[in-house]
Amino acid sequence: MSRKNKLTGKIYKNVEITDIGAEGKSIAKIDQKVVFVPFGAPGDIIDLHITKDRKKFLEGKIVNIHKESKQRVEPFCEHFTLCGGCKWQHLKYSQQLKYKEIQVTDTLQRIGKVNYNFSHNNIIPSPENQFYRNKLEYTFSNKRWLFDEEIKKNEKIEDPEGLGFHIPGYFDKIIDVKKCWLQPEPSNQIRLSIKSFAVQNGYSFFNIRKKEGFLRNVIIRNNLKGEFMVILVAFENNMEQITKILDFINKLFPQIKSLYYIINPKKNDSLDDLKPVLYKGDPHLSEVINGLVFKIGPKTFYQTNSRQAISLYNITSKYAGLTGKETVYDLYTGTGTIANFLAGQCKKVVGIEYLDEAVDHARENSRLNKIGNTEFLSGDMSKLFNEELFKTHGNPDVIVTDPPRAGMHPKVIEQLKKINASKIVYVSCNPATQSRDIEMLGDIYNIKSITPVDMFPHTQHVENIALLELK
């Protein structure tokens, strides 16, 4: 047996879980080597099965718990451990918040090379830690995930179809979700009714390996008013079947205010280049934040936790510290939510975003709210954010940046170091790339304050807002 896998398959008795790692897995140690273990809690005493032996660390799984940690609670979802959505259900919510705070500060120190000479505000808990999402996407499969007891029976499966989530690590395996605790009702009822109607009427579910079948995905969106949007994605353009199933759910659920379908005959699931067709109802849902109305279409990006988004924007506004005289640049503006939120507090906001469609929505949101001091531009940020832009639209006094998980492009960071804006408010969904970018800005900017925000309870993910000030 080679060195790198000599421990694979071994079981160690009475091992203590000691910590939680940055990626959400718990941590134990075997012979001074770190073992990453899913679904553990610090204080657990477990029997540990080593599943992978890496050069610098091990991976393992719990096969028995001798003593449960005081940090544990009973998971509320029957799909816990199989579905990849809520991997921290077994941890008390107060402990989840603690580990997220530690993740942010440790990452800033380790990657960002920053000291602790800044204001560190406590993490903002989510107002709700169940049924908090405003969007979910489910996948149809003609061969759902089978449980061990079903396989052992060696009998014909009477209900092979599934409508649910991809199981982590298996692109072609779908867990048939009975109840999801992420989106408020009637989200579950809509999904279950769609599946029941499809099965009873002989609709074919998608086979991801063979790329055949009729029903492919269903996307459910909602707003705080309790209104819903449903987008049915079909692999084949069969209007007779599409009409029957959409009429069925439209009649059954008056909460559905917007009903779309999309035909996706491609090999991949991406909808970016496909046009949603409005079947019935309004083309948009609307969400209201601090008196501002934002339209949400079938492909609109909007913060997934609507109530917590208000906290995110309020902290961003507080850090910007606007007096009414500033020119603000909102980088990676998306549909302009932050830009429009700040527009009433400054002289002008310039929002920049890669996608033309998102910029169109941003402009529409400004028109909808009668905001006249915003300008939105579309293009590659690394090419558009330059001196020519500043000559046309003015030098920024304050920069707000909310990049994707990959962080900011190095060319954008180099430009930020040249223009000397007095403040940068950095909103991030990935503390690691945020810390990397802050380290790159460190010779020009000091970090003054951070506020972590919990947008995704029961997961390891955490947002962080950092205020950087010019030295």
State yes or no: pLDDT of 2 exceeds 60. no
H-only helix segments in 27-75: none
In the structure, what pLDDT confidence band is assigned to residue 99 with cuts at 50, 70 and 90?
Answer: very high
> What is the number of other CB atoms lying within 10 angstroms of the CB of residue 381?
19
Percentage of the residues of the chain whose pLDDT score is greater than 90: 85
Looking at residue 113, its pLDDT comes to: 87
Range(s) of the chain covered by CATH 2.40.50.140: 3-67
Q: Which residues of 327-337 are buried (b: 16+ CB within 10 A; e: fewer)?
A: bbbbbbbbbbb
CA distance 356 to 205: 33
Return the ∠ at Cα 434 (arms to 432 and 438), rounded to 5°.
120
Give the residue range(s) of CATH 3.40.50.150 domains in the chain. 95-128+305-470
Q: One-letter amino acid identity for 151?
A: I
In angstroms, the CA 323 to CA 398 distance is 11
Q: Which class in CATH covers the domain with range 95-128+305-470?
A: alpha beta
Q: Which of 266, 191, 259 minimizes the C-alpha distance to 236?
A: 266
How far apart are alpha carbons 27 and 18 in whole angstroms?
A: 6
pLDDT bin (cut points 50, 70, 90) of residue 166 is very high
User: In the chain, which residues fall in CATH 2.40.50.1070?
Assistant: 135-289
pLDDT value of residue 146: 83
Q: What is the mean pLDDT of residues 101-116?
A: 89
Which of the residues 77, 86, 346, 429 is marked catalytic?
429
324-369 pLDDT per residue, tens: 999 999 999 999 999 999 999 999 999 999 988 889 999 999 999 9
What CA–CA distances, in Å, run from 84 to 79, 89, 175, 216, 270?
9, 11, 10, 20, 20
Indicate the pTM of the whole model: 0.93
pLDDT digit string, tens, across residues 172-215:
889 999 999 999 999 999 999 999 999 999 999 999 999 999 99
Q: Which of 351, 388, 217, 364 is nearest to 293 (CA)?
A: 364
Q: What is the pLDDT of residue 5?
A: 66
Strands 45-53 and 228-234: unpaired
16-37 pLDDT, tens per residue?
Answer: 999 998 788 999 999 889 999 9
Contact criterion met (CB below 8 Å) for 286 and 296: yes
449 three-state secondary structure:
strand
Say which amino acid occupies 293: V
Of 135, 358, 133, 140, nearest to 233 by C-alpha is 140
Helix (H) or strand (E) segment spanning residue 327: strand 327-331
Can you give the three-state secondary structure of 396-427, one letter per residue? CCEEEECCCCCCCCHHHHHHHHHHCCCEEEEE
How confident is the model over 379-429, as pLDDT tens digits? 999 999 999 999 999 999 999 999 999 999 999 999 999 999 999 999 999
For domain 135-289, say whether CATH 2.40.50.1070 is its number: yes
Predicted local distance difference test score (pLDDT) of residue 413: 96
Which of 412, 457, 458 is CA-nearest to residue 437? Answer: 412
Angle at the Cα of 304 from the Cα atoms of 303 and 305, rounded to 5 degrees: 95
Tokens of residue 97, six digits: 């918040």
Does position 1 have pLDDT exceeding 50, yes or no? no
Question: Is there a catalytic annotation at residue 77?
Answer: no
Domain covering 3-67 in this structure, CATH number: 2.40.50.140
On whether the CB atoms of residues 140 and 160 are closer than 8 A, the answer is no
CA-based end-to-end distance of the chain: 56
Taking the CA atoms of residue 95, residue 99, residue 101 and residue 104 in that order, the dihedral angle to the nearest 10 degrees is -170
